[in-house]
Structure 1
Amino acid sequence: MSDAARPIAIYPDLAGKVVFISGGATGIGEELTEAYARQGAVTCFVDIAEKEGEALEARLNAEGLKARFAYCDITKTADLQAAIRQFAAEEGPIRVLLNNAANDKRHDLEGLTEEFFDQTIAVNLRHQMFAAQAVVPMMKVAGGGSIVNFGSVSWMIKNPNLAAYAACKAAVHGMTRCLARDHGADGIRVNTLVPGWVMTDKQLKLWVDDAARETIKMNQCLPGQLLPRHIAQMALFLGSEASAMCTAQNYIVDGGWT
């Protein structure tokens, strides 16, 4: 096991729990999948990156961990909910839901189309609500659970050319707070994990140039790169009973940018 993959903290209550992660094959999602698997969780994940998902599943299982992958386009609600229910039927009720999948496509207002806007909502907001809809009944029966929705600092720091994406991520905060109120009596906690500018392969390839690195250096309070493993550590805390009395909150991991 590499130092990067070695758990920083162990959460014994996660061992054996069934976890569902959307967009779990690459980027932040890959780190989430590996982090939960290394805690002993039964880690179920979906993605449209089929090759990468199958490879991650095989690698983790070869190490004696428990990972389950299924191809799924999370913008197709029926398919998403069917995947969640199938995993639950085979492994047991989902006790931790990580609504990670997202796509931060840049755009300007002049070229914005209804089709692009609706697709942005489907990828970044809608699937989070309907994944929650699928897991809440089984969490109630199981005696509780943790839903971790994923936001973004993009709308807080007014990133340019991201208005549709930022609208979705701002809406996640309201969704989280209302779901937390609606289902808290059943022992279901709902929080938002809010990443800053995370240095995934995608970000490094498409957006991070020398000017961007200078912007990061100027705005983060902490030096260095914000990495997927930093997000995963907060996700483990929120999924575990270590955060038993934490709900309806936004947990920002951005190196102090906001």
Structure 2
Amino acid sequence: MTATPYATFHDLKDASVFITGGGSGIGAALTEGFLAQGAQVAFVQRSDASGFVAEMEEKHGRAPLFIPCDITDLGALKSAMEQAAAAHGPVTVLVNNAANDSRHGLQDYDEEAWNRSLNINLRPHFFTAQQAAPGMKAAGGGAIINFSSVSYMMGNAGYPAYVTAKAGITGLTRGLARELGPDNIRVNALMPGWVLTQRQMDLWATPEGLKAHLEQQCLPEHLVEQDIIDGTLFLASKTSRMMTGQALVIDGGVVVTG
């Protein structure tokens, strides 16, 4: 993985950052992006990320704090955030990135699968904010970045539970921005388009599908993990200090928010 920062956000140096799903795909790019700014990064992931941590330590001279965690276990998630705060100080930047976009239909999906999808794709965003907010308030403010998706804005078929969760994230973001604003805590949603991570390439990116999607973009180039980093850093930084309750789209120009 190679991350090339296009901007430096000086106020992120030494910031205590917590990222869900921060050891692979977009999450790994985010972890590296914050490390490159000098932030203190902790992340959770269910799968082993020790190789990635070693790579980051060799490249940046310090390692992110990897805490193995299944984010559907709220007790474990709370404990992980407490560990991160103990190591780096109160979390002042929270990035809710982890998600699972496995495809499914309407008729072949049962209650258990539905609940599990929302327990991965929506529920953690509420409870991580709940856990982080008191520390952010005590620190004088903070930033929460909730990863949503343009999938629901496009009306995509093939994963209705995921689309539901991503729509819910933008509603949650708006509500939390209003509730936490008096404590100088900003809450924004980031809306990636189709980012061609290795998972996407392995599972769903057919030549026909890639061609059709590219034709919907204004910019005729597929998105990669790097394209999401700087938008996230912007939302985390005081550069965007008067921006909250918003949905920032990075999709090459497929959808509009206004």
**TM-score range for the pair, normalised by the shorter chain length:** over 0.9
Number of the residue aligned with 2:215: 218
Number of the residue aligned with 2:80: 83
1:234 to 231, 234, 252: 231
Number of the residue aligned with 1:61: 57
Number of the residue aligned with 1:20: 18
CA distance in 1, matches of 2:124, 2:155: 24
Q: TM-score, normalised by structure 1?
A: 0.96
In the alignment, structure 1 residue 34 sits paired with structure 2 residue 19: no
In the alignment, structure 1 residue 181 sits paired with structure 2 residue 200: no
Number of the residue aligned with 1:145: 142
RMSD value over aligned CA atoms?
A: 1.0
Letter in 2 for 1:81: K
CA distance in 2, matches of 1:212, 1:128: 30
Q: CA offset at residue 232 of structure 1?
A: 1.1
Q: TM-score, normalised by structure 2?
A: 0.96
- Which 4+ runs in 1 deviate beyond 6 A? none
SS at 2:188's partner residue?
strand
CA distance in 1, matches of 2:45, 2:148: 18
**Cα contact 2:71–2:120 (8 A) shared by 1:** yes
Number of the residue aligned with 1:96: 93
SS at 1:155's partner residue?
helix
Number of the residue aligned with 1:168: 165
Q: CA offset at residue 20 of structure 1?
A: 0.2
CA distance in 2, matches of 1:250, 1:72: 28
CA distance in 2, matches of 1:59, 1:14: 21
CA distance in 2, matches of 1:8, 1:65: 21
Query: CA offsets, 1:83-136, max 9 Å, x none?
Result: 001110122010100000000011111111000000000000001110111100
Number of the residue aligned with 2:45: 47
Letter in 1 for 2:242: M
Letter in 2 for 1:43: V
**Cα contact 1:24–1:100 (8 A) shared by 2:** yes
CA distance in 1, matches of 2:13, 2:243: 20
Uncovered stretches (5+) of structure 1, i.e. residues with no partner? none
**Cα contact 1:121–1:165 (8 A) shared by 2:** yes
Number of the residue aligned with 1:197: 194
